Structure 1
């Protein structure tokens, strides 16, 4: 069994309630014993869908009102690299970028693609897909409006995707954020997940929600 640190155990012992409203959970989270770096904060959601059914797959994006606090590296697959770089992309190109990815390079956080470039980009689906980096229209990462897409990603658009267990996690900020900013970001994330309910799905969509930082215990959220 994995041994927990004294800091983790101390934080866990301070949890006084089995469930919390979102605001109280964030207050408690920010009072946990700190570590030496600015931890990321994530909302984790367990869904009631059947992950084996493709019709019940859950994927989407959320524009965090106050950004994610993370420096996002953006790659754009496009024939017009100059336009993408001018829009703020960190890397841009087509054949040269595809070649680098095939060689194992994944030094970016988000990949965007123009519509016309997708025919070539599909050749690296086996590399990008398992890492959640493959551009898709549903996630808004296949677009011909590169300026808007790059700006949205850089300013705090976060993608979420259900895993094979029916769970997903959404980055909502950093522990150093002010409480009101974290609260707005976390609520926006929960609202976005709630809105991604598959069409025709019957039953309880969201089973439970937890929030945690990189090195902390998680706190259960009472959505009621």
Structure 2
């Protein structure tokens, strides 16, 4: 199940999302063309064991690791989810707040991985931590948005719309199950980062929603002007 949009009306140009997409694509392209992937991962990827022994020498990797990706498929997945879920959050919070928060979310995702595996010598790369945190925030703030998704069952495919809570619950369930079954050892995916960052995003969004003085008003105004309004059903119509 792959998301490609929602039912929010996007009149905002999302400059930060566009800039992040361009930056990640440019870094990955340069990585592929240079042939120095292993060197870049060793120098710029986040390695928990190195951070445990010499944190100040490797603190920069908490930021740089988000820009590196294993391959084009890894990059494409993160770019897709950033595009689908990031635009609405950027428009809600404003471009400057989004620009400050996104790197912070990536850093915290790697910190969660470090807390769980402080002795690991396997470098972790990718923007999945920051993107997973965005998904958690989206779930708390827009649980009833309708996600436009594609279900592929080769050689066929079908487009359907599902509530955000259903799609993100399905995605979160896959991450938790994969983490519990230890699938990260086989496919090289840091599921702990996904799960921890998702929970972090949910927590931050919940705190903002309940504690920020004007949060309810901002969110209500955003929803009123964002969700595509559907015409009222006729008396004789049936809902399915």
> TM-score surpassing 0.5?
no
| Greater share of residues in strand | 1
- Relative to its length, the structure with more helix (as a share) is 2
TM-score (norm 1): 0.26
